[in-house]
Amino acid sequence: MTTRQLCTFAVAGGRYAVPVADVQEVLRHQELTPVPLGHPAVVGLINLRGQIVTSMDVRRRLGLPDRPADAGPMTVVVRTADGPKALLVDDIGDVIDVADAAAEPPPAAAGPQTAVTARVYKLPDHLLLELDVAELITLTPHPTR
């Protein structure tokens, strides 16, 4: 049986994951430098040991409500073709092994979540959506405000 290793995290009460192979590191929330007139999902830039990394709020990218002001996010730094990107999430979960046979394609509904979901896993106590990192970080141009 073939399995995949996934790094899990929570966003707005939902359970999500990205492949462990795409994860560079997991950090506590980092101080952000805002990006004026940027895409709404891009919340700022972080300095990661001298490297400037774009930070994206996964809540905003998925069209979910903003995180409460008193709830600091966690950061999942993922490797991409364009260098590392920081994903802001509500909480970090575990690294889990899931059977490829347990995966199903995402539902055929339209919306920001479906567009970035690679697979859905029915786990014993919840659904887990595996996100496609390349799709997640691809942002359509935002009209000038």
Other CB atoms within 10 A of residue 18 CB: 22
* pLDDT at residue number 86: 97
Write the CA distances from 26 to 18, 60, 71, 121, 130, integer angstroms.
Answer: 12, 19, 17, 23, 17
16 in a structural domain = yes
145 in a structural domain = no
* pLDDT at residue number 110: 62
Write the CA distances from 17 to 10, 116, 117, 137, 143, integer angstroms.
Answer: 8, 11, 10, 14, 30
* Alpha-carbon 79 to chain mean position: 12
Residue 98 is part of a domain; what is its CATH number? Answer: 2.40.50.180
* pLDDT at residue number 142: 54
Number of domains in the chain: 1
- 49 vs 53: CA distance, rounded Å: 10
142 in a structural domain = no
The residue range of the domain holding 128 is 3-137
* pLDDT at residue number 145: 44
User: Token pair of 9, please?
Assistant: 């995290």
33 in a structural domain = yes
pLDDT, one tens digit for every residue, the chain (145 residues): 799 999 999 999 999 999 999 999 999 988 899 988 888 999 999 999 999 999 999 999 999 999 988 888 999 999 999 999 999 999 999 999 999 888 998 887 767 788 899 999 998 888 999 999 999 999 876 554 4
- 17 vs 32: CA distance, rounded Å: 23
Give the pTM.
Answer: 0.90
54 in a structural domain = yes
